[in-house]
Amino acid sequence: MRAAAGESWETARTRRLRVAEVFLSIQGEGSRAGLPTVFLRLTGCALRCRWCDTAWAFTEGTWRGVGELVEELLGYGVPRLCATGGEPLLQPSVVPLLRHLADDHGWDVAIETGGDQDISIVPPPIVRIVDIKLPGSGMAERMDPQNVARLRPGDEVKMIAGDRRDYERARELIRGPLARCPGHVLLGAVHGELDAGLLADWVLEDRLPARVQLQLHKLLWPGRERGA
């Protein structure tokens, strides 16, 4: 039976999640970049972005009990979690787990989502990091446009550009629907395709109100696809 994101912890802890990996690393992106973070990567994604660097997580994974998972996460001793994928919101049982860590254990909790799923099922204080796909990804038409209106203070919007056309679409969104975004707007370059310095030049030329970001984990551990 498909879990309800708002169900009680006592019920949710008995459910299972299909987990690709759990690991401790340095957060490589967003406003938390550089901070030691526990990552929970879930299996499965409905999108097929051209530049995806975790395609192995589409199908690989092990079914784990939610209660067991929480004990493992707490055991790392780092009270900061990022749920990612794949697409974590395809498994709604992750939401009570995140809420439990945030509300009952005081953790700083964020979820990275691909922008095609309704983010309203994720309650505060969990931070939603919404990756809005640009044309170069091949998935721009799959985005849920209502997610922009669902953003709240503290949330983040991430866009990854592979070329000038992607940048111009990001600029259009930042000056349009995202102009009143209550959270952070982050703009990065597809690793190995668009020079990050060139992207930064474009942002400066346009005085664009976005934070240029690098993928720190790829600089620290080049070539590592898992556990980073």
pLDDT in tens, 101-150: 999 999 999 999 999 999 999 999 999 999 999 999 999 999 999 999 99
pLDDT higher than threshold 50 for residue 227: yes
Structure tokens at 226: 């898992």
Question: 4 lies in a domain?
Answer: no
Question: 3 lies in a domain?
Answer: no
Structural domain total, the chain: 1
Q: What are the CA-CA distances from residue 200 to residues 33, 34, 132, 176, 193 (Å)?
A: 18, 20, 19, 20, 14
DSSP 118: -
Note whether 188 and 215 are within 8 A (CB): yes
User: Tell me, what's the pLDDT at 1?
Assistant: 39
Question: 228 lies in a domain?
Answer: no
Question: 2 lies in a domain?
Answer: no
Question: 174 lies in a domain?
Answer: yes
pLDDT higher than threshold 90 for residue 4: no
Question: 204 lies in a domain?
Answer: yes
Structure tokens at 77: 């001793």
- Of the candidates 180, 178, 188, the one whose C-alpha atom is nearest the C-alpha of residue 158 is 188
Note whether 76 and 25 are within 8 A (CB): no
* pTM, to two decimals: 0.93
Residue-wise pLDDT for 200-217, tens only, equals: 999 999 999 999 999 888
Domain holding 137, by residue range, is 9-47+55-220
**Residue reference for tokens 């979820």:** 111
Question: 202 lies in a domain?
Answer: yes
Distance CA 139, CA 48 (A): 7
| CATH code of the domain covering residue 62 | 3.20.20.70
Question: 226 lies in a domain?
Answer: no
pLDDT higher than threshold 70 for residue 3: no
Note whether 83 and 112 are within 8 A (CB): yes
